[in-house]
Structures are given as C-alpha cells and as structure tokens.
Amino acid sequence: MSRPELDFLASHELAVYGFQGCPDCARLKHWLENAGVRHREVDIDAQPEAAERLERETGKRAVPYILIDGKTWVRGYHKELPGRFDSRILIAELRSALG
C-alpha cells in the first residue's frame, strides 16, 4: 500500500459493490486506486445475486458498499456530507469494522 495509514487493510480482501454510472461508486473507486488499496469490484447490475446479498445482509440498496473478507459490510459513501465522501471517515469505519 502506498499510504501507511492504510497498511491495516493489506491482509484483507475488499469487494466493492456498486454499478456502472454510479457517481458515489466512481468516487470510492478513484480514492481506492489513488490510495493503492487492493480491491475487486462487484457490479450488482451484472450480478443480480450480489445485489440480493447486499440487500439481504445490509438491509440497504444504496451503493457503494465494501464487503471485507466476505463477512463485514462498510458503506463507501457518506450521504450526510456535501461531497458524499470523506476518506478519514471511511478509514475510521474500516478500522472499526475490523475491530
């Protein structure tokens, strides 16, 4: 990883659930790539079962969501903020999710 504050993610698998044309998904993807965070993308439009899993396990339909190690969900957007994304909040939420 290129940013020391993100080293805690190196041993974890991150799957980003989203879809093409989603501005929040594009923001998260851009940040992850620029930060050097290894992840894979899950397109919920192309994989209906992924969309069903997201809704079943989070109770949400909104994206992006990050699934850590196949078991813990973290939202990848911050609808309460004007820019809808804050990397400091996301890092804190990822740390908290990993306990």
Whether the CB-CB separation of 9 and 37 falls below 8 Å is answered with yes
Number of structural domains in the chain: 1
CATH number of the domain where residue 31 is located: 3.40.30.10
Q: Digits of tens for pLDDT over the chain (99 positions)? A: 468 899 999 999 999 999 999 999 999 999 999 999 999 999 999 999 999 999 999 999 899 999 999 999 999 999 999 999 999 999 999 999 998
At which residue do the structure tokens 């990050």 appear? 66
Cβ–Cβ contacts within 10 Å for residue 34, how many? 11
pTM of the model: 0.94
Classified as helix, coil or strand, 11 is coil
Residue 53: both structure tokens together: 């899993």
pLDDT computed for residue 2 by the predictor: 62
pLDDT of res. 37: 95
Range(s) of the domain holding residue 59 = 4-98
pLDDT at 1: 43
Residue 99 pLDDT: 87
